[in-house]
Amino acid sequence: MADIRVMRDVLLPPSPSERRHLLSIADLSRDDVQRLLATARSFARSLEREMKKLPTLRGRTIVNMFFESSTRTSSSFELAAKRLSADTISIKGSGSSVDKGESLKDTILTLAAYDPDVIVIRHPQIGGPQLAARNTAAHIVNAGDGKHQHPTQALLDLFTIQEEVGKIDGLHVAIVGDVLHSRVARSNIQALTLMGARVTLVGPPSLMPRGIEGMGCDVSTDIRSIAAADVVYVLRMQRERMLEGANYVPSLREYTARWGVTPERLRPGQKVMHPGPMNRGVEIDPRVADHPESLIEIQVRAGLLVRMAVLYDLLTHGPVGVQTATLTEVA
């Protein structure tokens, strides 16, 4: 006799919901963030089992479109979708018809023909994900648009801090380096302040956007200010976004001497984070990157959990209880 597998009600894939996007941290309330972090935590427990795949998004289609280089974000979104049993299609800028001059809008319309449930998109231009949201019926997740937003990075950073430090509310985080070109900085300032942390930006005046204090953070041009923080968050020098010929810093060597995060500039017990990819020996000393207080590898693991939580959250109705997330297994 055929082997019949029965699924209980709560184990059925979630039913279709209205379109919801994650384009910016500004789309989220404190409750939303707490719900997403709780869902990520429950997925962490599910990944401890030998059988890591959940049937939660079986029958759903998730398209990953990366028009800018990515290692951590693209691989974790792809694995997150697979761990939730969704079908995935991955498109990269190079090697796709974008190389042949197809516009972003036409590429989106082409992929929309497959009726994807979610499109995850990274684009070098600000507003790429918004354009996608206007031109498809899919839920859109912004995986980084120019120097504007990278909301899932900020969520994984919050998750890492909450799990490793134990709290976000009342914490003091110093974000150091090239703030001017950093979507990670913008998303993190919003996310950290939303959750009650205090943020100090530290870096050369030439890499500090004018008026950034308006986002509710302090600004310092003195690297010694990082010693006062509980967490030091180091940003990459984004050379690919720097205008040709513009001298933001006299030289990389000079930048490292004045702004590099070295063991000598840290206090014992301070946690260090970096979104990757790191320029070892430029913005971060290798001894700091490899130190036990560094949370950099933990951030990568958190990326998978948080991206599973985001995909799950977008495709289910209303608040997602931790219980619901842990129960979605084949009986």
Check: CB of residue 158 under 8 Å from CB of residue 195: yes
Sign of the torsion angle spanned by Cα atoms 183, 69, 47, 27: positive
Distance of closest approach, residue 228 Cβ to ligand ASP, in angstroms: 24
Nearest residue (CB) to ligand ASP, 13 versus 260: 260
Residue 106 neighbours by CB distance under 10 Å: 13
Catalytic residue among 73, 152, 256, 316: 73
Nearest residue (CB) to ligand ASP, 15 versus 94: 94
Using CB under 6 A, pick the residue from 158, 275, 284, 309 that binds ligand ASP: 275
Using CB under 6 A, pick the residue from 14, 146, 209, 276 that binds ligand ASP: 276
Site string for ligand ASP, 215-244 (x = CB under 6 A): ---------------------x-x------
* Nearest partner of 317 among 108, 73, 74, 14, judged by Cα: 14
Using CB under 6 A, pick the residue from 83, 183, 186, 265 that binds ligand ASP: 183
Nearest residue (CB) to ligand ASP, 147 versus 271: 147
Residue 100 bears catalytic tag? yes
Distance of closest approach, residue 148 Cβ to ligand ASP, in angstroms: 10
**Does 181 engage in binding with ligand ASP (CB under 6 A)?**
no
Nearest residue (CB) to ligand ASP, 238 versus 256: 238
DSSP letter string over 198-241?
Answer: EEEEES-GGGS-TTGGGGT-EEES-GGGGGG-SEEEEPP--GGG
Residue 72 bears catalytic tag? yes
Residue 172 bears catalytic tag? no
Distance between CA atoms of residues 212 and 219, nearest Å: 8
Residue 110 bears catalytic tag? no
DSSP letter string over 27-79?
Answer: G--HHHHHHHHHHHHHHHHHTTSS-----TTTT-EEEEEESS--SHHHHHHHH
Using CB under 6 A, pick the residue from 116, 129, 144, 151 that binds ligand ASP: 144
326 backbone dihedrals φ, ψ, rounded to 5°: -80, -20
Residue 147 bears catalytic tag? no
214 backbone dihedrals φ, ψ, rounded to 5°: -60, -15
Positions 47 through 66 that interact with ligand ASP (CB under 6 A): none
80 backbone dihedrals φ, ψ, rounded to 5°: -60, -45
Distance between CA atoms of residues 270 and 276, nearest Å: 19
Q: Which residues are catalytic?
A: 72-73, 100, 122, 150
Binding region for ligand ASP (CB under 6 A): 144, 150, 183-184, 236, 238, 275-276
